Amino acid sequence: MELNKYIEHTNLKAYAKEEDIIKLCSEAIKYNFQSVVVNPHYVQLAKECLKDSNILVTTVVGFPLGANTIETKVYETIDAIEKGADEIDMVINIGALKDKDYEYVKKEITDVFYSADGKCVKVIIETCYLTDDEIKEAVKICNECFVNYVKTSTGYGTRGASLEDIDIINSVKSDILEVKASGGIKDYDTAVAFIEKGVTRIGTSNGVEIMEGEK
């Protein structure tokens, strides 16, 4: 298993400095991770740091609460891609989902997806705030919107991903929808457990620790 190619090496801390992002990118190069995930302010810096590599730059939209307007999320998406982002991780409007306003959630995902101009879009549903049925509804919407991934968590909710979340997602997801697990995945054994459930991306700020655990 090329575990490194599952890992999206992440620093979304509010207090991350330039030196922290440079370090993140250096570690990503050392271990040949799939991508780095940074806040929008650091997309250009990360892109420059990784210009001689195949490592992708991922950034976040509507992060971390998901309560921005659709228009704001669309602008964030366009701006991020213009600045060099390769992939977009977008937080849904969680309150709208819980209100059963599924058409609104579908519209915001669709608008971001088309604004991404063919780039990979991952939809963060923040499972910690959802019932099992709400998780299923969110995944069904992702199926209908033909996005690339459903992602469990921001890492800033009341908990991160759980294996039970993945079971629920797998029970309704389409064959083409992939799954990114994030939040609380800090060691090799945990990462492998998620991959064995079919997860194809792991979002973690502990990528180095996971790889060192493999050794």
Active centre residues (catalytic): 89, 151, 180
On the 0-12 / 13-18 / 19+ scale of CB atoms within 10 A, 12 is buried
Residue 37 carries which DSSP code?
A: E
Instruction: Give the closest residue to 138 by CA, choosing from 88, 172, 162.
Output: 172
The CA distance from 20 to 136, in Å, is: 37
On the 0-12 / 13-18 / 19+ scale of CB atoms within 10 A, 29 is middle
Residues near 195 by beta carbon (within 8 Å), at least 6 away in sequence: 1, 3, 6, 202
- Is the bond leading into 64 cis (omega within 30 degrees of zero)? yes
Retrieve residue 166's tokens. 């993945």
Torsion of CA 209, 89, 59, 77, to 10 degrees: 180
